[in-house]
Amino acid sequence: MEDAVRPNEQAFKAMYERGYCTWFSLYEMTIADTKTHLPWWGCLFQLENAFLDHPSFPENLAVDASFSNTVIATGISTWRTAQGPSDLPSFDQEFFIPVASNRPTILAISDPQQSAFVFPRCFSEDNDHITLLILAWTYILSARWAEIIPGASGPKYSNFEAEWDDENISFERASTASTIVIIDLGDIDDDAARWWAAVLAVEGGWNASIPSDKGPILYSLWHTKLVSEQRFTLSRGTKSRPLPAQHRAASFATALRYLSSYCEFHEVAEQSHAALAATLLLPVARFDNRRVQLPAPRVHRKVRSNKETICKTPAWSENLNQLDRLLTLSCNAVGTKAFLNSVFFELGVACNICGAWLQGTFAFLDSDIVQDQHILLRVLMKRDPSLGFLWLGAFIIGAQTRSLQEARQGWWKIDLHVAAWTGTLMSFIQEPVSTLRPGAEEISRADECRLMYLSHDQYYTVPPLFPFAPFGSTAITDTNIDVRQHARCETSHGLEYEGLTWRCRGGKRAVTTVARIPLRGKNGQPTDGNISVTYDNFDNDDDDCSEMVTRNIFTWLRDEDGFPVAERAIREHEWIDNLDSDDDCPITGDAQSTVGGNLHGWLLKTMTRRSNSL
């Protein structure tokens, strides 16, 4: 007897192969690209123009500081439900984003050999400035945050400073001392020297903060705490002398200039972009309550030249709007996590077989072919190149480990706001409702879900938690009134983002609207070549992922109205039947509704929302 929910072994195997071959094709594309150009340049410099329609915090933003552990900014997004006239109205969705936290992200400095991924190796460089540059960027983003967020203050220097090389320790001697790392800062003045001494102080040389209404002082989302047995010892060409204890902290613009001068001096502009990408991911590490492991810097002393230094315009100073967009994106850790795992979503993969897709995907990603972390990163970037800089940042700070764990289990959430702002395909719910052919008596359950969400009844104001669509179809006579009302509508229904209204101080509003951003397709198609698929991890009996996602989507779909009679076998299936009693979808009998189908929805809902329900 055919199983009503679980696919047979042949279908499971075919989907496993689809997952394996899709990612194998991405690997082949990655290797082919490596032969023609350096793979990292586009990824690094897309930071300067990525996601141009992503909103940034407005002036005079209102923030809610009523919590003891966070401060949040809020807004309302508006969504259309159709192209052209429709009796499905637009709807609003609450949006909130944290802007402060009560705890830092722990940064642990260790030997580079302990890190599976070290970015400078991508360029075959021996110098590694990434850790220093990340620390500089935490200050710079926090300084900009303090300028934008009302009530925030700082940065302010503490009494802690990194030490100076007053003994003229040679770099050769420092390299043999496991606890000493000499940092050559070049010919800098006292103000720049004091800034670097604060940025590289292990004990915490600065802070940027905002008070909560309940008393605790909260900090910017890039606030970090260093854990390191290694001591940063600073060196500069100008004479080192004691710096004033009371020193005004560098502003955002000044700190940006100091960082730009350092990058120019050491010729590490690429590493600075990579460090910015990594810093943007620090709120994700804090959200996951995970410490970040970073390699100890390897900074060689630069040979001074007699040429006059020409100060260039600091990077980002003329692209401030883009930096503000990236700062806002960075604050949204949930959205960033949704970004990363969106590469594992595949259209056409239903909830009851998504486990096979992911099983095949990770059978390849776990294989010996991509054991090198640099290769794995490039394959993930190839799936959706627009997200490349986020994956790069994730690998630098180790955030990819958690993302891959969640993806392997099928346990990741979507964020329709960031999806709309960036044209990222994250869920089946974003696809338009299909047009029914004349005479059709059934509607796909995916389209049924879409219409239920677009109708935005009080029970369907939140989209399905997971991205994979329900399988199969439902008789139109078995759908609820909202679906029946619009399934045959000549209007093209689909979810469209219209704009975001930020709440600002004094009851004011800041409105941002954008043109509809088309959804990007994802790279990777199963090839027709002779791919040797590995079946070592193939196990169609171990499908907890599909079971979890299937139970969740059918709970979302049927929890309010119950299951139609035609879905009795689905309702009684072991994947569905073991719902907790408090959340159980009802079995209500075979009674037909005698209420006419042309009455207004509100009247129908007072009596029964679905005919032929169990």
At 493-519, the pLDDT tens digits run: 999 999 999 999 999 999 987 777 899
Q: What is the mean pLDDT of residues 202-219?
A: 93
End position of a domain, from candidates 466, 485, 513: 513
User: 43, 392 in Cβ contact below 8 A?
Assistant: yes
Give pLDDT, residue 424: 97
**Beta bridge partners of residue 109, listed in sequence order:** 294
Both 129 and 228 in one domain: the answer is: yes
How far the first Cα of the chain sits from its last, in Å, is 22
Pairwise CA distance, residues 333 & 77, whole Å:
18
What is the pLDDT at residue 571? 94
Does residue 215 sit within a domain?
A: yes
Q: Note whether 363 and 246 are same-domain residues.
A: no
Question: What residues form DSSP beta bridges with 564?
Answer: 613
Summarised one tens digit per residue, pLDDT across range 17-52 is 999 999 999 999 998 887 656 667 778 888 999 999
b/e 142-179 (16+ beta carbons within 10 angstroms → b): bbbbbebbebbebbebeeebbebbeeeeeeeebeeeee
Which residue in 454, 534, 467 sits closest to 494, CA to CA?
A: 454
Contact 410, 358 (CB under 8 A): yes
Q: Is residue 319 located within the same domain as residue 349?
A: no
User: Do 264 and 205 belong together in one domain?
Assistant: yes
- Gap between the Cα atoms of 57 and 299, Å rounded: 36
User: Do 190 and 118 have their domain in common?
Assistant: yes
pLDDT higher than 70, residue 262: yes
Range name among 27-36, 110-119, 404-413, 601-610 with the lowest pLDDT average = 601-610
Q: How confident is the model at residue 111 (pLDDT cuts 50, 70, 90)?
A: confident
Q: How many of the other CB atoms lie within 10 Å of CB of 366?
A: 16
**Is 160 in the same domain as 232?**
yes
User: DSSP character for 37?
Assistant: S
Q: What is the band of 170 on the pLDDT scale with cuts at 50, 70, 90?
A: low
CB neighbour list of residue 600: distance below 8 Å, 6 or more residues apart: none
Structural element, H or E, at residue 148: helix 130-148
Strand partners, 82: 493
Closest residue by Cα to residue 614 from 564, 556, 557: 564
Between helices 544-558 and 445-455, what is the axis angle to 10°? 50
Task: Check: CB of residue 499 under 8 Å from CB of residue 509.
Answer: no
Is residue 272 over pLDDT 80? yes
Residue 466, CA distances (Å) to 23, 74, 345 in order: 21, 24, 10
Backbone angles phi, psi at 182, to 5 degrees: -85, 130
Q: What is the pLDDT of residue 323?
A: 97
Strand runs labelled E in 465-605: 473-475, 492-503, 509-513
Q: Give the residue among 403, 114, 379 at the shortest CA–CA distance from 287.
A: 403
Longest Cα–Cα distance of the chain, Å, equals 94
Q: What is the pLDDT of residue 125?
A: 67
pLDDT at 611: 52
> Does residue 187 lie in a domain region?
yes
Answer with the one of 295, 327, 359 that is the final residue of a domain.
327
DSSP at 613: B
SS3 assignment, position 357: helix
Of 166-180, 337-351, 475-489, the one with minimum mean pLDDT is 166-180
Does 305 score more than 60 pLDDT?
Answer: no
3-state secondary structure of 432: coil
Is residue 598 in a domain?
no
d(CA 13, CA 353): 10
Helices (H), 342-444: 354-365, 373-383, 388-397, 400-409, 416-422
Q: Are residues 289 and 318 in the same domain?
A: yes
d(CA 472, CA 483): 16
- CB atoms closer than 10 angstroms to residue 240: 15
Structure confidence by residue, pLDDT tens digits, 517-539: 899 999 998 766 678 899 988 98
For residue 475, the SS3 value is strand
Q: Which of 107-116, 141-150, 368-377, 447-456 has the lowest mean pLDDT?
A: 107-116
Indicate whether 455 belongs to any domain.
yes
Take residue 68 and report the two structure tokens written for it. 């003891």
Cα separation, 293 vs 47, in Å, equals 23
Backbone angles phi, psi at 606, to 5 degrees: -75, -15
| Per-residue pLDDT tens digits for 559-584 | 888 999 999 999 999 999 765 544 44
Give the pLDDT confidence score for residue 591 in this predicted structure.
Answer: 29
Judgement on whether residues 321 and 418 belong to the same structural domain of the protein: no
Q: In whole angstroms, what is the distance from residue 390 CA to residue 44 CA?
A: 10
pLDDT of residue 430: 96
Q: Is residue 266 part of a domain?
A: yes
Q: Is residue 532 part of a domain?
A: no
pLDDT at 527: 67
368 and 453 share one domain = yes
Instruction: Say which DSSP state 7 is in.
Output: P
Answer whether residue 595 is part of any domain: no
Q: Is the pLDDT of residue 116 over 70?
A: no
**Number of structural domains found in the chain:** 2
The span from the CA of 190 to the CA of 180, in Å, is: 23
> 454: domain range?
9-89+334-513
d(CA 98, CA 57): 12
Strands 217-219 and 206-211: antiparallel
For 118, residues 6+ apart whose C-beta sits below 8 A from its C-beta are 112, 128, 130, 295
Is-contact 299 130, C-beta < 8 A?
Answer: no
> What is the model's pLDDT at position 38?
60
- Beta strand 231-235 pairing with 153-157: unpaired
71 shares a domain with 21: yes
Phi, psi of 567, deg, nearest 5: -105, 25
Tell me, yes or no, whether 198 and 60 share the same domain: no
Residue 253: name the closest of 165, 140, 95 by CA. 140
CB atoms within 10 A of CB 527: 12
- In-domain check, residue 162: yes
DSSP-derived secondary structure for 483-513: HHHHHT-SSEEEEEEEEEEEEBGGG-EEEEE
pLDDT tens digits, residue range 235-260? Answer: 998 765 666 666 799 999 999 999 99
Confidence of residue 301 (pLDDT cuts 50, 70, 90): confident
Q: Which of 478, 513, 548 is the last residue of a domain?
A: 513
| Domain co-membership, 57 together with 147 | no
> Higher pLDDT residue, 478 or 173?
478
Of residues 189, 408, 182, 191, the one with CA closest to residue 299: 182
Query: Mean pLDDT score of the chain, rounded to an integer?
Result: 87
